Chain A
Amino acid sequence: MSVNEKIVARVASLARLALKPEEAAPLAGELNAILGWIDQLQAVNTDAVEPMNAVMPITRDWRADEVTDGGIQADILANAPASAHGFFAVPKVIE
Chain B
Amino acid sequence: MTWSEFSFERYRRYLPAAAIFIVAVAASAYLSEVSLTDLRRGILKGLSLLTLFFPPDWSACKDMLQPALVTLVICLVATPIGAAFSIVFGLAAARNIAPEWLRLTARTVIAVERGLPEIVILLVLVAAFGLGPFAGVMALAIGSIGMLGKLLADAIEEIDPRVLDAVAAVGATPWQVIRHAVLPEVLPALVANSIFRFEVNVRASVLLGAVGAGGIGYELDAAINQLEYSRATMAVLMILLLVFLSERASDWVRSKVL
Please indicate whether A and B come from the same complex rather than being unrelated chains.
no
Q: Which residues of A contact B (CB under 8 A)?
A: none
**Residue positions of B touching A, CB distance < 8 A:** none
